[in-house]
Amino acid sequence: MVKDTSYTFDNPYVKLNPYKTSPLTALVIFYTDKNAKVSYTVEGESDDTSITNTVNGDYSKTHQVPVVGLYANKTNKVTVNITYEDGTTDSKEIEIKTDSLPKYVKNATITVKNTDKSKMDIGDNKLTIINRTTKEPFAIDADGNVRWYSTNYSQHTIEQISNGHMLILTKKKESSKVYNDLIETDVLGRVYKEYSFDPGTKYNDSGNSKDETTVIHHDLVELPNHDILATVSDGSKYKEDVMVQISHKTGKVVKVIDLKKILPSSMYKNYKAGSDNKVDWFHQNAVDYDSSDNSIMISGRNQDMIMKLDYKTDKIIWIYSGKKKATWPKKYRDKILTPTQGTTITGGQHGLYLLKHDGDSEDIILYDNNIDVTNGNKKTSGKYSQAVEYNIDTKNMTIDQTWSYGKSLGKANFTSIIGYAERESNGNTLVDFGFKDNGKESNIIEVDSSGNQVFNVTVKNSASKAYAYRAYRVPFYSSSYVFDVND
């Protein structure tokens, strides 16, 4: 198909949804007599909603153009631009007709207000991914229109990695209760790699499954060597307290970090089991890697605690928690950070990651649910949730709150579970109040450094457990993404 010279710039081959899982994308293929590069624009319905991408790669006579950012149920106008190696140019408008949205996306009522596109971090091709707890993930533009979705159900995990692909935790059958299929895919839905996890399902005397487990549960990160570090449950009576490094070459586990071997045994031995008879004493919901010192930062919701570990030795570098220093066993006390006056104690927090590391100074950001699970702030618990930036001084072992947003919104935006805060390239912060009003809606707000809203979107009626677990603002054609099919 790619080498078929009968498809020309004037008569290109256009395939909507080429891989059957991304209906608002298309693949356009054509041949030119001279070497050229290609760019395209999907026409937006208002200012600053057009999606413009330049196809990465060398000058060529054969062209494969991955078109992203189409509207649903519409005849989209796409302008394809050619720049020949000799400097001459050409352009052509093509039309691509799409179908209606599926019910779990269509029924999620989207309302946008307080939009200032000139101050939003949207560039030429950025959309906001609604990373849902379950069901189909989707992405919206500054008007709140859906411009991408996947027909693959996902759970918690959608991460854009260094090559512009995405890691999505999904399942092979929609009817399955568990998500044990991790795919490396692009926004067109082309699958480059697949990791399948067998949790070792147990059965009762009647032959019915009694212990179906989703192995990867909340987060993962790509390591510098492209291996995956994932938060997992190991199948024991304790859950969500282990991490594994998965080889991107073989799919084998090459490293295991068990937090029970690192933290005081009283934390997990004295923790009450849940209704599933599992002990969710830590509930790890975030992991991030710091290449500057080969370390990882993690968040444990059920201990209201964040910590940093040396990745080579698994030794603790620092811990921040509402648990008083004097109540820790002596061997841990020199690792406990001391908060400056006015610095918030986190409660049930989510989405911890590193912003900057310079010598003894570390800047981090997280979403503070502000719920007292075990060691949170009892006085403020339940009154508000917020995005928080901290500076950590590892020489003096102090932590200082340098920025926050959410407290002024009060109890209306309190979320007992889930949520995320993402710092954007222009200094704005995208805050996902994902479980607002006990999950009846998700409220995603973009604010500038002064706390002024430049984008506020509410997603209601999201179906059971389909609220926004996280929200990401990402380019829908990464500068490192190269699409290439030889045949």
- Where do the structural domains in the chain lie, given as residue ranges? 13-97, 103-475
Q: The tokens 């999904």 sit on which residue?
A: 170
> Residue 4 has what pLDDT?
65
- Cα of 383 vs its chain's centroid, Å: 26
pLDDT at 337: 98
pLDDT on residue 306: 98
| Predicted local distance difference test score (pLDDT) of residue 165 | 97
Best CA proximity match to 43, nearest among 77, 17, 68, 11: 77
Cα–Cα dist 123/117, whole Å: 10
Point out which residues pair with 432 in neighbouring strands.
420, 444
Residue with tokens 């790669």: 57
Rounded Cα distance, 129 and 125, in Å:
12
Beta bridge partners of 220: 230
**Strands, E assignment, 45-125:** 51-54, 60-68, 75-84, 89-97, 109-113
Token output for 200: 């070792």
77 with 149: CB under 8 angstroms? no
Task: Please give the DSSP secondary-structure letter assigned to residue 397.
Answer: T
Task: Tell me the C-alpha distance between 364 and 321, whole Å.
Answer: 15
Q: Write the DSSP symbol of residue 379.
A: T
Q: Which CATH architecture has domain 103-475?
A: 6 Propeller (2.120)
Whether 457 and 446 have beta carbons less than 8 Å apart is answered as no
The CATH fold assigned to 13-97 is Immunoglobulin-like (2.60.40)
What whole-number distance in Å separates Cα of residue 149 and Cα of residue 133?
14
For 241-245, which contacts have Cβ atoms below 8 Å and span 24 or more sequence positions? Answer: 241/268, 241/281, 241/282, 241/283, 241/284, 243/284, 243/287, 243/296, 243/298
Please say whether the beta carbons of 259 and 233 come within 8 A: no
What pLDDT is recorded for position 5?
A: 77
Tens-binned pLDDT, residue by residue, of the chain (487 aa)? 556 678 999 999 999 999 999 999 999 999 999 999 999 999 999 999 999 999 999 999 999 999 999 999 999 999 999 999 999 999 999 999 999 999 999 999 999 999 999 999 999 999 999 999 999 999 999 999 999 999 999 999 999 999 999 999 999 998 898 999 999 999 999 999 999 998 764 434 434 445 568 999 999 999 999 999 999 999 999 999 999 999 999 999 999 999 999 999 999 999 999 999 999 999 999 999 999 999 999 999 999 999 999 999 999 999 999 999 999 999 999 999 999 999 999 999 999 999 999 999 999 999 999 999 999 999 999 999 999 999 999 999 999 999 999 999 999 999 999 999 999 999 999 999 999 999 999 999 999 999 999 999 999 987 888 999 999 999 999 999 999 876 4
Task: Compute the distance between CA of residue 476 and CA of residue 147 in angstroms, rounded to an integer.
Answer: 10
Q: How many CA atoms lie within 13 A of 28 on its CB side?
A: 25
Q: Residue 451 has which token pair?
A: 């706390």
Residue-level pLDDT at 486? 60
Do 103-475 and 13-97 have the same topology in CATH?
no
Per-residue confidence (pLDDT) for residue 350, from 0 to 100: 98
- CA dist., res. 290 & res. 223, Å (int): 9
Residue corresponding to tokens 């949520």? 419
For β-strands 429-436 and 75-84, DSSP reports them as unpaired
Can you tell me which residue has the tokens 């090459």? 254
The bridge status of strand 338-339 relative to strand 398-405 is: parallel
Q: How far is the C-alpha of 217 from the C-alpha of 469, rounded, in Å?
A: 12
For residues 33 and 64, the answer to whether their CB atoms sit within 8 Å is no
